[in-house]
């Protein structure tokens, strides 16, 4: 069992880092404040130092308590105006915080503890108003956690209560600073091995795969039901013909006997039909329930796997400082956004690329102190690591204020490797040169050492990001330096995919990379300077066909009724239009590595299992945009008319709400269905008897004839009862659902949690 002290130390490890990070951030804010401002920041720094002192006292860490007490005293003097927080003091305090981190890391790793005498002496000198400099302790390895916390961390123990022995030394402190925080009841937590979480995720994905197979069973049962109905109609015609023939022959006795046999057979056939319909409805309900349970389970597993970036990258600030110190460089490391949560596997996958980029910043970007001073910079360089969430994706930025991108060194290395001729190297643009640094084996390092790595270059970063359906960009940092921006999904458990068809195959595109969908006229496709483009309003966007991109040998775009379906993909500010054969649907899917041959590059991110058991390749839209940008628009792209397609299904939407009718109509038409509208059940019946309808979507609460009445009328009419009817209602009580299904509804969707994908998938089961 874990001892009480071990639990307290675990809580302290979380709390102390929060206080240290907050003090760093507040000091940085004060550095940008005008003279005489920043009182709120000083108050918060004082409070943080006081809390850190109390926490270290509670876990019996006197060295940290002593340092914290002196920081508290120093901030009290600054806050009262007796001392001034200048640049030198801020730098010194940053070094004090580094010592605290080093001391706690060594204590947790059971290593020799650094001597804090110099740090305490430096703080005493600051309190007296003297300028100081401190020598940083030697670097130590970073402890790697073996387990992952999957529940909120335990609430740290509160500081000792007022009036206790522990607070006797603080009699001179203001009462406001000593007020105890209200007691918070800690949430129960549990530690789970990451291996078990991974197995649970796989099991939940297999469960969802099995629910997909249930849809095939539903389709088979529906087909049997329709076949039996056709057989019943054929049987009735044959029965009438046989009975009429015997009566015409005058054989009334045989006609009566045959009629009795026919009645017995018809009763048996009716019973089989009734039983089959019952089985189909029960199977539909079971399949629907399994899908809901599977989705809920996967959602819970996904939430459990979400951990803060601090769990993986909490020790990276110290690692960068240690590497810089070993290389004779000075750095101020700023790490932010460690509270951002992402899938543990995503963060683990980011660990090596981020470490590589930080090493790259220290090796190629950050200059030695003397060189920085000669260039008018501070001796200590800035190295930043930040985490954020933007547009549903995890964004990581690694930046430094060093030399910036050395285009001349890249140009020389590119010529040396034969990527460009000497003349060409002076003509390529900056972006093309930047792209070169991601080529396999490309590195401008003149020698291999511990800091520069093994001369592999940045290709490992791009390959790692491509495997996770992510991207990496290089940007100039203002006013000086370099910034690498990584963007990737927050989770690897499932992704929302837009399915499209091309050359008879199905492909998935992550929706994060899809900007817009269009159906344009063939005449809107043209060429500008010999390159294919599509004109979308006042914009012209480069165009290619997905078939050509995937090397199917097609140099034409297929059109149907003079209409071209287009998917506009995005990567940052860049846009590319890709022509496909058809839009299919949007669905959630687990993207798996399927060992796609490298000949297709990184455009293929993996595969996803479809309902029929086939695998659809999942494409990386960001890499498609980048590949397209490098290769340029395709020349000579033409349009050809596709062969006539099968009849488009017609769906009747019955709802008294104009807004709901408009919403459902736009969703259905965007997915290729024809839509008819009715504002209540009576108008809906009129529509059903006037034209061929393939499926009905009906509200329940409507004037004149409600949804239940429409359902009864449809199912009691022999000419209409075979039309599937889906109830979409805000009534979510169990009895309302049961009544709808008992009356013969083929599905029931609750409006409160209306999901476009759920509705489309339900429709797909019947059409």
Q: What is the pLDDT of residues 411-446, one digit of tens each?
A: 888 888 777 788 877 777 777 777 777 776 666 655
What is the pLDDT at residue 651? 94
User: What topology does CATH give the domain 4-168+185-192?
Assistant: 1.20.120
Q: The domain 650-764 is classified under which CATH number: 3.30.1330.40, 3.40.50.300, 3.40.50.2300, 3.40.50.720?
A: 3.40.50.2300
| Helices 62-80 and 87-108, axial angle in degrees (round to 10) | 160
CA distance 518 to 496: 19
What is the pLDDT at residue 76? 87
CA distance 249 to 251: 6
Q: The domain 495-641 is classified under which CATH number: 2.40.50.180, 2.40.50.140, 3.30.420.40, 3.30.930.10?
A: 2.40.50.180
CA distance 271 to 612: 31
Contact in structure between 590 and 204 (CB atoms under 8 Å): no
CA distances from 746 to 215, 548, 632 (A): 13, 42, 50
What is the pLDDT at residue 568? 92
How many of the other CB atoms lie within 10 Å of CB of 296?
11
What is the pLDDT at residue 693? 92
Torsional class of 561: left (φ above 0), alpha (ψ -120 to 50), beta (otherwise): left
Q: Supply 122's token pair.
A: 């430096």
b vs e for 97-114, b when ≥16 Cβ sit within 10 Å of the residue's Cβ?
bbbbbbbbbbbeeeeeeb
3-state secondary structure of 447: coil
Cβ-proximal residues to 582 (8 Å cutoff; 6+ apart), any chain: 500, 501, 565, 672
CA distance 193 to 124: 45
- Of 622, 613, 525, the closest CA to residue 564 belongs to 525
What is the pLDDT at residue 185? 43
3-state secondary structure of 504: coil
> DSSP state, 378?
-
pLDDT in tens, 576-612: 899 888 888 887 777 776 654 433 346 787 788 776 6
CA distances from 238 to 219, 231, 266, 460, 615 (A): 28, 10, 12, 73, 45
Burial (CB < 10 A; 0-12, 13-18, 19+), residue 225, is: middle
Q: The domain 309-406+444-484 is classified under which CATH number: 3.30.565.10, 3.40.630.10, 3.40.50.300, 3.20.20.105?
A: 3.30.565.10
Continuous segment of H or E residues that includes residue 674: strand 674-678
78 Cα distance to chain centroid: 45
Domain definitions of the chain by residue range: 4-168+185-192, 195-305, 309-406+444-484, 495-641, 650-764
Beta bridge partners of residue 276, listed in sequence order: none
Q: Supply 541's token pair.
A: 């966007």
Contact in structure between 620 and 605 (CB atoms under 8 Å): yes
Burial (CB < 10 A; 0-12, 13-18, 19+), residue 517, is: middle
Contact in structure between 383 and 361 (CB atoms under 8 Å): yes
CA distances from 129 to 81, 83, 86, 118, 676 (A): 12, 7, 11, 16, 82
Residue entry with tokens 């479809």: 610
User: What topology does CATH give the domain 195-305?
Assistant: Helix Hairpins (1.10.287)
Beta bridge partners of residue 639, listed in sequence order: 557
Contact in structure between 103 and 114 (CB atoms under 8 Å): yes
Q: Which residues of the chain have pLDDT under 50?
A: 1, 136-187, 447-451, 453-456, 596-601, 636
What is the pLDDT at residue 190? 63
CA distance 376 to 543: 48
What is the pLDDT at residue 701? 87
């Amino acid at each position: 069992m874990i001892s009480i002290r071990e639990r307290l130390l675990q809580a302290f490890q979380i709390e102390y880092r929060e206080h240290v990070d907050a003090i760093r951030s507040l000091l940085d804010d004060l550095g940008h404040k005008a003279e005489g401002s920043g009182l709120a920041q000083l108050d918060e720094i004082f409070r943080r130092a006081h809390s850190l002192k109390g926490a270290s006292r509670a876990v019996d860490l006197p060295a940290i308590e002593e340092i914290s007490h002196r920081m508290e005293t120093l901030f009290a003097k600054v806050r009262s105006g007796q001392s001034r927080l200048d640049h030198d003091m801020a730098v010194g305090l940053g070094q004090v915080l580094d010592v605290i981190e080093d001391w706690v890391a060594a204590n947790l790793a059971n290593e020799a503890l650094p001597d804090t005498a110099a740090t305490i002496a430096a703080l005493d000198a600051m309190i007296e108003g003297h300028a100081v400099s401190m020598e940083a302790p030697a670097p130590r390895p970073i402890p790697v956690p073996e387990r992952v916390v999957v529940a909120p961390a335990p609430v740290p123990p509160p500081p000792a209560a007022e009036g206790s022995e522990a607070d006797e030394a603080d009699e001179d402190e203001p009462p406001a600073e000593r007020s105890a925080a209200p007691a918070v009841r800690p949430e129960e937590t549990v530690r789970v091995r990451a291996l078990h979480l991974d197995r649970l995720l796989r099991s939940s994905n297999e469960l969802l795969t099995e629910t997909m197979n249930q849809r095939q069973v539903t389709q088979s049962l529906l087909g049997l039901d329709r076949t039996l109905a056709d057989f019943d109609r054929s049987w009735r015609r044959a029965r009438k013909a046989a009975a009429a023939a015997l009566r015409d022959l005058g054989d009334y006795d045989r006609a009566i006997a045959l009629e009795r046999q026919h009645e017995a057979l018809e009763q048996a056939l009716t019973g089989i039909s009734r039983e089959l319909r019952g089985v189909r409805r029960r199977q539909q309900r079971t399949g629907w329930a399994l899908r809901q349970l599977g989705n809920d389970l996967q959602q819970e597993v996904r939430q459990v796997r979400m951990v803060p970036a601090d769990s993986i990258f909490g020790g990276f600030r110290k690692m960068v400082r240690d590497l810089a110190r070993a290389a004779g460089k000075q750095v101020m490391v700023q790490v932010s956004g460690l509270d951002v949560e992402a899938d543990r596997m995503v963060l683990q996958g980011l660990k090596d690329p981020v470490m590589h980029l930080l090493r790259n910043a220290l090796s190629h970007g950050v200059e030695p102190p003397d060189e920085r001073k000669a260039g008018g910079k501070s001796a200590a360089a800035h190295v930043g690591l930040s985490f954020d969430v933007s547009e549903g994706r995890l964004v990581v930025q690694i930046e430094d204020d060093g030399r910036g991108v050395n285009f001349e060194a890249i140009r020389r290395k590119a010529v040396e490797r034969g990527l460009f001729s000497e003349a060409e190297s002076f003509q390529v643009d900056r972006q093309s040169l930047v792209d070169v640094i991601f080529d396999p084996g490309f590195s401008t390092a003149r020698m291999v050492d511990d800091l520069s790595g093994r001369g592999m270059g940045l290709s490992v970063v791009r390959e790692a990001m491509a495997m996770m359906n992510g991207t990496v960009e290089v940007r100039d940092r203002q006013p000086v330096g370099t910034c690498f921006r990584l963007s990737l999904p927050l989770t690897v458990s499932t992704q929302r995919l837009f399915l499209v068809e091309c050359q008879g195959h199905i492909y998935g595109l992550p929706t994060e990379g899809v900007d817009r969908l269009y159906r344009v006229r063939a005449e809107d496709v043209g060429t500008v300077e010999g390159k294919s483009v599509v004109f979308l309003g006042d914009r012209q966007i480069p165009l290619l066909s997905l078939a050509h991109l995937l090397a199917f040998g097609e140099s034409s775009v297929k059109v149907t009724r003079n209409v071209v379906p287009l998917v506009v993909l995005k990567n940052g500010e860049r846009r590319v239009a890709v022509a496909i054969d058809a839009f299919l649907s949007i669905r959630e899917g687990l993207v798996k590595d399927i060992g796609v041959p490298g000949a297709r590059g990184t455009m293929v991110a993996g595969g996803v299992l479809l309902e029929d058991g086939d695998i659809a390749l999942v494409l990386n839209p960001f890499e498609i945009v980048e590949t397209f940008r490098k290769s340029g628009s395709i020349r000579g792209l033409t349009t050809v008319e596709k062969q006539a397609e099968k009849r488009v299904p017609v769906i009747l939407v019955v709802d008294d709400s104009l807004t709901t009718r408009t919403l459902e109509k736009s969703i259905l038409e965007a997915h290729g269905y024809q839509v008819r509208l009715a504002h209540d059940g009576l108008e809906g019946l009129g529509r059903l008897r006037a034209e061929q309808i393939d499926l009905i979507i009906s509200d329940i609460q409507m004037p004149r004839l409600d949804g239940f009445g429409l359902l009864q009328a449809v199912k009691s009419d022999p000419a209409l009862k075979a039309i599937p009817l889906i109830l979409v209602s805000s009534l979510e009580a169990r009895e309302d659902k049961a009544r709808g299904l008992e009356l013969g509804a083929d599905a029931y969707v609750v409006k409160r949690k209306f999901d476009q994908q759920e509705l489309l998938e339900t429709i797909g089961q019947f059409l």
